[in-house]
Amino acid sequence: MRQARVLQRDSHRSLADVLAIMGKQLSEEEKIERADYVLTNDNVHPLLPQVLALHAIFSRPQGA
């Protein structure tokens, strides 16, 4: 899916280009493991409640 989006967006790139770029990036699992917060945008989990929950966290006064 990600490859298709990049190919559609960057029509000057070949599939080999995209795969080479993606091969140099962290895996999705590694990104999730390193992240403090993760939003899931997969058309299964509603995105807005996730954003609002993080907004509530970030809006709290420090030390609360």
**Among residues of the chain, what percentage have pLDDT more than 90?**
84
Residue 2: predicted pLDDT? 84
Dihedral, 42, 47, 50, 52 alpha carbons, nearest 10: 170
pLDDT for 59 equals 96
pLDDT tens digits, 41-57: 998 999 999 999 999 99
Q: Is the pLDDT of residue 11 over 80?
A: yes
